[in-house]
Chains A and B, each alone.
Chain A
Amino acid sequence: MGIDLSKLSIRTAHEHLVKGDFSPVELAEAYRSSLSSRNTKINAYLEVFSDIKDQASCVSEQLKSGSLLAGIPLAIKDNILIEGREVTSASKILVGYKASYDATVIKKLKSAGAVFLGRTNMDEFAMGGSTENSAFGVTRNPVDEARVAGGSSGGSAAAVAMDGALAALGSDTGGSVRQPASFCGVVGLKPTYGRVSRHGLMAMGSSLDQIGPITKCVDDAEILFNAMKGVDPYDATSRDFSNIDTKKGKFVIGVPRDFTDQDGIDPSVRKNFEESIVRLKAQGCEIRDIALPTIRYSLAVYYIIMPAEVSSNLARFDGVKYGLHKDGGGLLTDYLETRGQGFGKEARRRIMLGTYVLSAGYYDAYYDKANAVRELITQEFKECFSSGIDAVLTPTTPAPAFAIGEKAADPLAMYLADIFTVTANIAGIPALSVPSGTTLVSGKKLPLGIQFMADYGREDVLFSVGKMFEEAVQ
């Protein structure tokens, strides 16, 4: 039974399953054998589940009822809870911890009949842009194994790019779905803040986090998004956006030139970005230069608010309630030892930074000010969208995937890779990264991506423009 995995999308796989060209078990087995041949080198998966076949053999009801996700093999980021399975956020502090409940998105996907292949590698607690901060080794980029797959959802993006899963879930706090998707040549969506429940997602920056799909095409991202969205009583930040009309007619795309023309952007990215604009024009979009003067402060705002929230969220890992326990002789010394040894370097650094910006003497200058600037950025986006702009266009990343180790010694250089993606998290708006071509670096065709950002709850605009752009690229 030969299934050409490289040609499958969720929709075409569904059609094959309905027609009986192959069964859900055969599809799952095909993915298992495909991923096991590459995972040793790529390290996309931290664990491949042993019951894939059992899961795939009981989805016939959902398939009959027409669920597009019935029998679709997915990879799940290691910070999303699946009841009874180990989940570690790629941290030593949670080794052996088993989830005590299903995340809301998992519950929804289970009832849709999705098959979970395994849990994927990531930067520890989703902190990083390369998976080099995983306690379990880096994930290599399937396109060029000397390079990073991006992060923090690097394992999920690599799993999809290497045909080790038909689609995957990641989480995006500052670009952690879109940046690895761009580095690996796949599609990544960060939904509107509040659109997808985070119940059962390990919290990193609670005012920023969203779960999002990583897929081979925009249509697949839309299918997964539709299966996951919705208000959840277990996530107080989830909101209802269901009354929004679907956009019709010509799309107006805004390009914030001051932001996209700044220094530090790779020439290949600039060139590709200009080509992408030409493609969108050819597809009938109107391109408008726009000014969003405050968004250039997004990254600074992000690296204040996010560590502040990290320092609070990670306080729960204390060696008492769950996870690793290191004995230090007394209660306080137990905490110091457990957290000192259990957290990796980046987690320790961000907890320290967060503690600093929240401390009494510096709160006003950093945290309070960052929140005020965040409000200003949000207002700028609102005004932009209400002036008739449907989507704001930027590159997804300032450069293609970097070499493993290249930025490891300089945290600030690593942070700068988030420059285009963090803005959407700061404002809470939805954003989609779509592959936009490749650039030849040392004999390898490295993927590039562009990012569309839309108004609150307007994922429909992202899907329409994204599909249009996909067609233009092909």
Chain B
Amino acid sequence: MLEASDIKKLAQLSRIKLSASEEESLRAEMDSILTYVAEVQEVSLQTKGKRAPEHRNVFRDDAEPHGSGVYTERVLSAAPFRDGDHVKVKKIL
């Protein structure tokens, strides 16, 4: 069973502000979902172990970089706040 404090902690980790009523409804909903998905724990894995996945990361050659600043404007134009060629953020420390 999830506790109210678990929901608060998860919301904090998820960087999401929840209303008190949503915290309560989520607690019940997540409980029922987690009870359902916990059925994976019934599966016996004694016979077959995990194998390496077929899909592997592919890295491009470290060559032919695009010209400096080609995409700057396109990318920065999406930012809510900017200062010249920088994304503007609030003070961290």
Residues of A within 8 A of B (CB): 97-98, 100-101, 193-194, 233, 236-237, 239, 294, 297, 300-301, 303-304, 311, 315, 318-325, 328, 330-332, 334-337, 339-341, 343, 345, 348-349, 351-353, 355-357, 359, 365-366, 369-373, 375-376, 379, 411-412, 415
Contacts and interface: CB of A to CB of B under 8 A. Distances in A.
Given A303-B33, A320-B89, A375-B48, A340 B17 contact: yes
A183 to B, nearest CB: 23
Contacts of A320: 79-80, 87, 89
Contact of B17 (A98, A323, A337, A352): A337
Given A321-B78, A340-B16, A352 B10 contact: yes
Contact of A379 (B10, B48, B91): B48
A318 B34 contact: no
A297 B40 contact: yes
Nearest to B59: A236
Interface in B65-93: 71, 74-75, 77-81, 87, 89-92
Contact of A297 (B18, B43, B71): B43
Contact of B40 (A304, A351, A355, A359): A304
A375 B51 contact: yes
Contacts of A357: 37
Nearest to A293: B43
A100 B70 CA distance: 12
Given A320-B89, A375-B50, A311 B75 contact: no
For the complex of A and B, the 9 pairs showing the least CB-CB separation, nearest first, are A340-B17, A325-B80, A322-B78, A336-B17, A236-B58, A331-B90, A335-B15, A100-B74, A300-B37
Which label, helix, strand, loop or mixed, suits the secondary structure of the A interface?
helix
A340 B32 CA distance: 23
Given A239-B55, A304-B37, A356 B30 contact: yes
B48 A412 contact: no
Chain B contact patch, size range: 35 or more
Contacts of A100: 71, 74-75, 77-78
A33 B34 CA distance: 47
Contacts of A365: 38, 41
Contacts of B22: 345, 348
B14 interface: yes
Contacts of B57: 236
B48 A351 contact: no
B54 to A, nearest CB: 8
Nearest to B23: A352
A336 B90 CA distance: 14
Contacts of B18: 340, 348
B9 to A, nearest CB: 9
A351 B43 contact: no
Given A233-B60, A236-B58, A355 B13 contact: yes
B29 A411 contact: yes
Contacts of A356: 6, 10, 30, 34
A369 B17 CA distance: 30
Contacts of A412: 29, 32-33, 36
Contact of B45 (A97, A237, A334, A376): A376
Contacts of B90: 330-331, 334
A193 B59 CA distance: 19
A352 B74 contact: no
B72 to A, nearest CB: 11
B43 A373 contact: yes
B50 A371 contact: yes
A321 B58 CA distance: 26
B40 A301 contact: yes
Contacts of B38: 300, 365-366
Contact of A300 (B6, B39, B79): B39
6 contacts: A301-B37, A321-B87, A324-B80, A330-B90, A340-B17, A373-B45
B11 interface: yes
A352 B16 contact: yes
A180 B35 CA distance: 27
A372 B10 contact: no
B14 A373 contact: no
